[in-house]
Amino acid sequence: MLSPRQTNVALFTALLLAFATGTGAVATGSPHGRWVVIGHGVAAMAVILLIPWKGRVVRRGLGRARRSRWASLLLAALAITTVVAGLGSSTGLIRSIGGQHGLWVHVAAALALVPLLLWHAVARKSRPHKTDLSRRVALRAGLLSAAAAALYLATDSTVRLAGLPGAKRRFTGSHEIGSFDPTSMPSTIWLNDTAPTFDLDEWRLTVVDGRGAYELTLPEVAEYQTPLRATLDCTSGWYAHQDWAGVPVSSLIRDVGEARSLLVHSVTGYWIRFPVDEIDRLLLATAVGGVPLARRHGSPLRLVAPRRRGYWWVKWVDRVELQRSPAWWQPPFPLA
C-alpha cells in the first residue's frame, strides 16, 4: 500500500520519465534508439499501475474546497487523454481522434500536461523525508518498475498475438501508410509552415561550399536522377517506404573546407543543420516513385535524410550551405 505522498512522488517521477523518453522517442530515427521507445512504454505502464492509488488521493482531495480544483481536474483529464491516445495509437485501435492522428493527439496532450504538472508539484510541495532512501522505498520502486516492464511486454505480446494493427508498427511506433505509392502517402508540415507556390522558371538552388556560392536551375538539378530507397517516418505516427530520385548532396559540394555542419534551408524559412559526416547519405529529391514530386510533398526539391525522422526531411529546399557552426547549434526540435 502506498501513502498519498508516496503515490504523488512516484506518479510525478513516472510522468517525468515518460516525458523525457517520449521526447527521445520523437527524435530517434535509427533502430539503435529503440531502447528509448521501450523505456517510454515502460514509464507509461508505471503511470497506469499507479492510477488506482492516485484515484484514492483524488477522491480525498475532491472533498476539500480549493479554488485550484479545476486545474487539478484538467491535469487528470490531460493525463488520461495522453495515456488513452498513446495506447490507442500503439495498438492501432485508435488511429485518429477528431480527424487528427492518434499519436499527434498523444504528443499534444503530453505537452499541455507539462506546465500543469509543474504547477501541481509546486502547489503541492512535498519535503524530502529520511525514509525516501530506505530499503523499503527502493524495494517498492523496484517492484513497480518490474511490474511496469512486465505489463509492457504483456501488452506488446497481446497486440502481436491478436494480430492488431499495432503489431505491424515500426520501432518508433509509427504505422505504415502509402509505401511505394506516393499519392497515398500523407502530407505533413511541421508546425506553422504552409505549402508555397513557385515560378519554376525563376526557382534557383543556392549552394554554398568551401569555394563560395553558386546557383543551379531546376533543369540542372533534375539532370541528376540518382535513386535511393529510404523510409520517411513522420512524428505524426506514420511511415512510408519510397523510391526517391535526385541529386546527392555530396555531388554539389566542391570543397568542404573547414565546415562543421551543413544547413539545409526551405523557402518557407524552415531549416535544419546536419553534421558534415552525414553529407554522403543525403539526397535532394526531385522525384518519388518514378514521378516528379507533388507540391505537398516538397516540389520542386526536398531533402531525403535516411535514419532521420520526418522533420529533418526539409521540403521546398532553396539553399544548402556549409558552415563552421557545430551541428548541435540548433534547437533540439525546430521552432517553426
- pLDDT one-digit tens code per residue, 24-75: 998 888 888 899 999 999 999 999 999 988 888 777 766 666 666 788 788 8
Query: Which pairing describes strands 261-266 and 238-248: parallel, antiparallel, or unpaired?
Result: unpaired
Distance CA 328, CA 136 (A): 42
Residue 335 has pLDDT above 90, yes or no: no
Closest CA to 322 of 249, 248, 261, 265: 261
- pLDDT one-digit tens code per residue, 79-111: 899 999 999 999 999 888 888 888 889 988 999
Sequence letter at residue 61: G
| Per-residue model confidence (pLDDT) at position 188 | 79
Distance CA 192, CA 215 (A): 28
Lowest-pLDDT choice from 80-94, 251-265, 288-302: 80-94
| Per-residue model confidence (pLDDT) at position 332 | 84
CA–chain centroid gap for 16, Å, is: 17
Distances (CA, A) of 236 to 25, 106, 213: 12, 10, 36
Q: In which element (H, E) is residue 294 found? A: none
Distance CA 212, CA 333 (A): 29
Distance CA 172, CA 72 (A): 31
Cell matching residue 16: 517525468
| Per-residue model confidence (pLDDT) at position 100 | 81
Task: Report the predicted TM-score, pTM, of the whole model to 2 decimal places.
Answer: 0.87
Residue 131 has pLDDT above 80, yes or no: no
Average pLDDT of the residues in 152-180: 93
